[in-house]
Amino acid sequence: MSQKPPKTNLSKEDYQLFLEAMADTRPLALMQNRHIQRPKQKPLPRKGKKIHQQELLDHADDIAELRTNEQLVFLRPGLHKQVLRKLRRGNYQIEDEIDLHGLTQQHAENLILEFIAHAVHDQLKCIRIIHGKGLRSNNSGPVLKTLCNHLLRRHPAVIAFVSAKPADGGSGALCVLLKTSTGIESNGQSHQI
Protein backbone atom coordinates (compact mmCIF):
# COMPACT_ATOMS: atom_id res chain seq x y z
CA MET A 1 0.00 0.00 0.00
CA SER A 2 1.82 3.01 -1.26
CA GLN A 3 0.47 6.40 -0.42
CA LYS A 4 1.58 9.79 -1.55
CA PRO A 5 3.62 11.38 1.26
CA PRO A 6 2.04 14.45 2.84
CA LYS A 7 3.84 17.76 2.65
CA THR A 8 6.52 17.27 5.29
CA ASN A 9 10.26 17.37 5.56
CA LEU A 10 10.36 13.57 5.32
CA SER A 11 11.91 11.97 2.29
CA LYS A 12 9.92 9.37 0.32
CA GLU A 13 12.08 6.63 1.84
CA ASP A 14 11.48 7.84 5.40
CA TYR A 15 7.75 8.12 4.78
CA GLN A 16 7.68 4.59 3.36
CA LEU A 17 9.52 3.29 6.44
CA PHE A 18 6.97 5.04 8.64
CA LEU A 19 4.06 3.42 6.80
CA GLU A 20 5.67 0.00 7.11
CA ALA A 21 6.19 0.49 10.83
CA MET A 22 2.54 1.49 11.28
CA ALA A 23 1.10 -1.27 9.06
CA ASP A 24 -0.08 -3.46 11.95
CA THR A 25 -1.59 -0.62 13.97
CA ARG A 26 -5.08 0.80 14.09
CA PRO A 27 -6.28 4.25 15.18
CA LEU A 28 -7.49 4.69 18.73
CA ALA A 29 -11.20 5.07 19.20
CA LEU A 30 -12.20 8.63 19.94
CA MET A 31 -13.24 8.90 23.57
CA GLN A 32 -14.82 12.10 24.75
CA ASN A 33 -14.89 13.25 28.37
CA ARG A 34 -12.50 10.57 29.48
CA HIS A 35 -11.26 11.18 33.01
CA ILE A 36 -8.08 9.56 34.16
CA GLN A 37 -7.94 8.64 37.82
CA ARG A 38 -4.59 9.58 39.23
CA PRO A 39 -3.35 7.74 42.29
CA LYS A 40 -3.70 9.76 45.47
CA GLN A 41 -0.42 11.00 46.83
CA LYS A 42 0.35 10.55 50.48
CA PRO A 43 0.65 13.88 52.31
CA LEU A 44 4.15 14.87 53.30
CA PRO A 45 4.95 14.23 56.97
CA ARG A 46 5.01 17.41 59.05
CA LYS A 47 6.87 18.20 62.21
CA GLY A 48 3.92 19.13 64.33
CA LYS A 49 1.15 21.41 63.12
CA LYS A 50 3.28 24.48 62.52
CA ILE A 51 6.30 24.94 60.34
CA HIS A 52 8.86 26.74 62.43
CA GLN A 53 9.91 30.03 60.91
CA GLN A 54 13.41 29.72 62.35
CA GLU A 55 13.93 26.47 60.43
CA LEU A 56 12.98 28.26 57.22
CA LEU A 57 15.40 31.05 57.98
CA ASP A 58 18.18 28.56 58.67
CA HIS A 59 17.71 26.93 55.28
CA ALA A 60 17.36 30.24 53.44
CA ASP A 61 20.65 31.41 54.89
CA ASP A 62 22.44 28.36 53.54
CA ILE A 63 21.43 29.33 50.01
CA ALA A 64 22.39 33.00 50.08
CA GLU A 65 25.97 33.61 49.04
CA LEU A 66 27.42 37.09 49.25
CA ARG A 67 29.97 38.79 47.06
CA THR A 68 32.69 41.02 48.43
CA ASN A 69 31.29 44.29 47.03
CA GLU A 70 27.62 43.44 47.58
CA GLN A 71 25.66 46.07 49.50
CA LEU A 72 23.58 44.69 52.38
CA VAL A 73 20.17 46.08 53.31
CA PHE A 74 17.67 44.83 55.91
CA LEU A 75 14.53 46.32 57.42
CA ARG A 76 12.40 44.48 59.95
CA PRO A 77 8.87 43.92 58.55
CA GLY A 78 6.32 46.49 59.70
CA LEU A 79 8.75 49.39 59.87
CA HIS A 80 8.48 52.37 57.56
CA LYS A 81 10.97 52.59 54.68
CA GLN A 82 11.82 56.09 55.89
CA VAL A 83 13.80 54.46 58.72
CA LEU A 84 15.99 52.71 56.17
CA ARG A 85 16.37 55.88 54.13
CA LYS A 86 17.53 57.83 57.20
CA LEU A 87 19.99 55.08 58.11
CA ARG A 88 21.44 55.08 54.58
CA ARG A 89 21.85 58.85 54.61
CA GLY A 90 23.65 58.79 57.94
CA ASN A 91 20.92 60.61 59.87
CA TYR A 92 21.51 58.37 62.89
CA GLN A 93 24.74 59.07 64.76
CA ILE A 94 27.05 56.07 65.15
CA GLU A 95 27.38 55.67 68.93
CA ASP A 96 29.83 52.75 69.01
CA GLU A 97 31.66 50.44 66.63
CA ILE A 98 33.53 47.16 66.56
CA ASP A 99 36.17 45.91 64.12
CA LEU A 100 36.15 42.18 63.33
CA HIS A 101 39.17 42.13 61.00
CA GLY A 102 41.37 39.08 61.55
CA LEU A 103 38.94 37.20 63.81
CA THR A 104 37.79 33.63 63.31
CA GLN A 105 34.13 33.09 62.51
CA GLN A 106 33.37 31.65 65.97
CA HIS A 107 35.20 34.43 67.81
CA ALA A 108 33.51 37.07 65.64
CA GLU A 109 30.07 35.57 66.32
CA ASN A 110 30.60 35.68 70.09
CA LEU A 111 31.94 39.22 69.90
CA ILE A 112 29.02 40.46 67.77
CA LEU A 113 26.45 39.03 70.18
CA GLU A 114 28.27 40.48 73.17
CA PHE A 115 28.65 43.87 71.44
CA ILE A 116 24.93 44.06 70.63
CA ALA A 117 24.01 43.02 74.18
CA HIS A 118 26.14 45.86 75.60
CA ALA A 119 24.75 48.34 73.08
CA VAL A 120 21.17 47.42 73.97
CA HIS A 121 21.99 47.61 77.68
CA ASP A 122 23.50 51.07 77.17
CA GLN A 123 20.43 52.06 75.09
CA LEU A 124 22.50 52.83 71.99
CA LYS A 125 20.43 53.42 68.88
CA CYS A 126 22.98 53.05 66.08
CA ILE A 127 26.21 51.05 65.94
CA ARG A 128 28.73 50.14 63.24
CA ILE A 129 30.17 46.67 62.69
CA ILE A 130 33.28 46.56 60.53
CA HIS A 131 33.50 43.07 59.05
CA GLY A 132 35.79 43.75 56.11
CA LYS A 133 35.12 43.02 52.46
CA GLY A 134 36.45 39.47 52.57
CA LEU A 135 39.12 40.05 49.94
CA ARG A 136 41.50 37.66 51.73
CA SER A 137 38.90 34.94 52.20
CA ASN A 138 39.41 31.78 50.19
CA ASN A 139 36.88 30.59 47.62
CA SER A 140 34.24 30.55 50.37
CA GLY A 141 33.51 34.26 49.85
CA PRO A 142 33.39 36.94 52.53
CA VAL A 143 33.05 34.83 55.68
CA LEU A 144 32.59 37.57 58.31
CA LYS A 145 30.29 39.61 56.06
CA THR A 146 28.06 36.57 55.56
CA LEU A 147 28.13 35.85 59.29
CA CYS A 148 27.05 39.43 60.10
CA ASN A 149 24.25 39.30 57.54
CA HIS A 150 22.85 36.08 59.02
CA LEU A 151 23.29 36.99 62.70
CA LEU A 152 21.85 40.48 62.42
CA ARG A 153 18.77 39.38 60.47
CA ARG A 154 17.94 36.91 63.26
CA HIS A 155 18.79 39.09 66.23
CA PRO A 156 15.62 40.43 67.90
CA ALA A 157 17.27 43.73 68.89
CA VAL A 158 18.22 44.60 65.29
CA ILE A 159 15.54 46.47 63.37
CA ALA A 160 17.56 47.55 60.32
CA PHE A 161 21.02 47.60 58.82
CA VAL A 162 22.70 48.88 55.66
CA SER A 163 26.18 48.79 54.22
CA ALA A 164 28.09 51.88 55.32
CA LYS A 165 28.86 54.88 53.12
CA PRO A 166 32.12 54.52 51.15
CA ALA A 167 33.91 56.94 53.52
CA ASP A 168 32.82 54.83 56.52
CA GLY A 169 33.86 51.42 55.17
CA GLY A 170 31.45 50.87 52.28
CA SER A 171 30.57 47.22 51.68
CA GLY A 172 33.07 46.25 54.41
CA ALA A 173 31.00 47.69 57.26
CA LEU A 174 27.40 47.82 58.44
CA CYS A 175 25.42 50.58 60.13
CA VAL A 176 23.00 48.81 62.47
CA LEU A 177 19.86 50.32 63.99
CA LEU A 178 18.79 48.79 67.32
CA LYS A 179 15.52 48.73 69.21
CA THR A 180 15.35 51.37 71.91
CA SER A 181 12.79 52.40 74.48
CA THR A 182 12.18 55.68 72.60
CA GLY A 183 10.55 53.96 69.61
CA ILE A 184 11.02 54.15 65.86
CA GLU A 185 8.55 55.17 63.18
CA SER A 186 6.46 52.30 61.88
CA ASN A 187 4.39 53.14 58.82
CA GLY A 188 4.25 56.77 59.84
CA GLN A 189 3.50 56.19 63.52
CA SER A 190 5.78 56.32 66.53
CA HIS A 191 5.61 53.41 68.93
CA GLN A 192 7.62 51.52 71.53
CA ILE A 193 9.91 48.74 70.38
Percent of the chain having pLDDT more than 90? Answer: 44
Total tally of structural domains belonging to the chain: 1
Q: What is the mean pLDDT of residues 67-86?
A: 88
The C-alpha atoms of residue 4 and residue 170 are separated, in whole angstroms, by 74
What is the CATH number for 120? 3.30.1370.110
- Residue 24 inside a domain? The answer is no
What pLDDT does residue 120 have? 93
Q: Which residues lie across from 163 on neighbouring strands?
A: 174
pLDDT at 2: 56
Inform me whether the pLDDT recorded for 148 exceeds 70: yes
| pLDDT the model gives residue 138 | 67
Please report whether residue 61 resides in a domain: no
Q: Is the pLDDT of residue 183 over 60?
A: no
Q: What range does the domain containing 179 cover?
A: 71-191
The pLDDT assigned to 180 comes to: 81
Compute the distance between CA of residue 87 and CA of residue 1 in angstroms, rounded to an integer: 83
- Asked if the structure places residue 40 within a domain, the reply is no
Q: 157 lies in a domain?
A: yes
Residue 92 lies in a domain: yes
Share of the chain above pLDDT 70, in %: 66
Within-domain flag for 119: yes
- 77 falls within a domain: yes
Q: So what's the pLDDT on residue 188? A: 42
Q: Is the pTM of this model over 0.75?
A: no
Task: Please compute, for residue 82, the number of CA atoms within 13 A of its CA located in the half-sphere on the CB side.
Answer: 8
Q: Is there a domain that residue 58 lies in? A: no
Q: What is the mean pLDDT of residues 29-37?
A: 63
